[in-house]
Amino acid sequence: MLKKLLVLLVFAMPVAGICAPGGKKKEEPVVHLTDEQIYEELKKLALVFEVARDNFVEEADEKKMLEGAMNGMLGALDPHSSYLSADDFKDFNDKSHGEFGGLGIQITSDRGAVRVIAPIDDTPAEKAGIKAGDYITHIDDEQVFDLTLNQATQKMKGRPGTKVKLKVVSDGEEPRDITLKRAIIKVKSVKYEDKSLADDDSETPDKIGYLRISDFGATTTKELKEAIAALEKKNVIGYVVDVRNNPGGYLTAAIDVSDAFLDGGEIVSTRGKDKADIERAFATPGDLTGGKPVVVLINHGSASASEIVAGALQDNGRALVMGSQSFGKGSVQQQKPLGDGTAIHITIARYYTPSGRSIQNEGITPDIEVLHSKVEVLEKKESMYSEASFKNSLKNEMAKKKADKKDKDGDEDDAELTDEEKDALDYQLQRAMDMVRAMAKLKERAPVAAAELEENMTPTGISPAPKKDQTAPAVDDNIRANNTDSESKKK
C-alpha cells in the first residue's frame, strides 16, 4: 500500500513542479529541495495518511483524504489551482460549453472565505441580488472556512429545483441569508440590441450597438460575429461592449473578441515559468465594425478574459474604457488530465497587455472613471410654481380618475421596470452611449475639417499670396513691416 501511494505521489509531483506559480508574490525566494529531501517528505506524507486513517475516531474515507491532500498541494500555489475529480472535470467542460446546473455564480477563494467574482446574467444568483465582491460565509448553515473551493462549489450544486441557503456579506452591510433555487444554467454569451440615449428626444435618435458579453465560452466568437452583422444592418453609429461582471473564460475567446474590433497589432502575450516561454497573439486584418467608435464598459466584476479584451482595445487605441477598476486576475489556467477522468486545474502563465502591463492584482484602469451611480432628477417637468399652485385654481376633472387608478393598480414606482427604464437608470451605460455618440460626431466632422483645410492650403502648405487687385489682411502688413525692420537692422 505504501509503495503504491508513493508511486502515485511521485507521478503527481512533476506535473505541479513544471507549472508556473501564479497570484501572490512571494516575499522570500523559493528554496528547492533535493530529490532525496522530496522522497523523505513523500514518505512522511504517506505516513501521515496511514496514521490518520488508522487512528481517526470515525471510519476514514481514503479517497476523500487523498483528494484533500492533492487539493491542499495545489491550493498552496495560488487560489486558482485545484484538483478536479471526475465529476468536477465533467462539470467544468459542460460549463465551458454553455450549459450546466447550479446557481450561476463564479467564485474564488480569498483568505479561507468564498468570494464572488461575478454572478452570471439571468441566473438564480444574479436575480437574488448577489454582486461581485460579496463574500459567502455559510452554505446551508455550514461555515465555508474549512472547505476547499471545489467542496464549496459542490455544496452549491444540486438537482434543478432544489434549494440552497447562503449567508452573504456585502461591503458595509449586515450579513444576510438568501435561499436560492437551483436551475439548469444556459449561458448565452452575447446579447445585443440597438439602443438610444434616454434623453435623445429627436425624431431619428442615433442608434448605438450594445453588445453584452456575459462570459467567454466556446460559442462566444460565433455569437459576437452574428451580433455585429445584425447591428451593422441597423446602421449603428458605434458600439458599447459591456463586460461588467463578466468573470472570464477561454483565452482563445478573448483573443477572437478583441480581433473582431482590430485591424492589426498585438492582442495579448502570455509568459510562463521560463523567461523564454512567451507566446504572442496578434489581430488579423478586418475590423468587423468598420472602425466605428467603441467604448468598453468594465467594473470590479470584470476579470481575466474580460480584462484581456479591455486591455487590448485600450492599448491599441481602438476603444475608450469606461467604468471602474477591474478585478485584476492576470493569470492563465489550464487543465492537465491525469488519465483516469480526473485532472488538475493549474496556473501555467501570466498574461500581459500589448503595452507590456501585467494586471495581476491591479486590474485595468479605465480611461474615464464612471462609478455606478443613482440618477436623481433635480428639476421636475412640473414646476412647483404653476397654475396648480394658486389657491382658487380650477381643478382638472381627469386628475381624480388618474389618482384613483393609481391607488387601484398600486404605486407606479413599485411596478416592474421596462428595459428602456432600466437602461435610463444605468448611469454607466448612459455615459458610455453618450461617449460613443460624441466620438461618432467627432469622426464625422474630421473629413469635413480636413477638406476645408486642404482647400485653403497650397501644395507647400502655405496660403497663396493675395492677388494685385486684392487687399492683403492687416496682419500681413504687420508681418511685412516687421521683416523690413529686420532687414534694415541687418544692413
User: Which position among 91, 206, 315, 423 bears the catalytic label?
Assistant: 315
**Does the annotation mark 315 as catalytic?**
yes
**Does the annotation mark 94 as catalytic?**
no
Residues of the chain with CATH 3.90.226.10: 190-328+363-369
Burial code of 65-96, b = ≥16 C-beta within 10 A, e = fewer? eebeebbebbbebbbbbbbbbeebbebbeebb
- Regions in the chain scoring below 70 on pLDDT: 1-27, 94-100, 374-416, 447-491
Instruction: Please say whether the beta carbons of 233 and 138 come within 8 A.
Output: no
What does the block give as the cell for 338?
491525469
Kindly report, residue by residue over 109-162, the tens digit of the pLDDT.
777 778 898 888 888 999 999 988 899 999 999 988 878 777 888 888 878 889
**Does the annotation mark 407 as catalytic?**
no
Kindly report, residue by residue over 13-65, the tens digit of the pLDDT.
333 333 333 444 556 788 999 999 999 999 999 999 999 999 999 999 999 99
Sole residue written with cell 397654475? 387
User: Tell me, what's the pLDDT at 403?
Assistant: 53
CATH code given to domain 100-186: 2.30.42.10
Residues of the chain with CATH 2.30.42.10: 100-186
User: Which position among 304, 306, 326, 331 bears the catalytic label?
Assistant: 304
As beta bridge partners, residue 321 has: 296
Q: How many CB atoms lie within 10 A of CB 240?
A: 25
User: Which position among 329, 331, 426, 434 bears the catalytic label?
Assistant: 329
CATH superfamily for 190-328+363-369 is 2-enoyl-CoA Hydratase; Chain A, domain 1 (3.90.226.10)
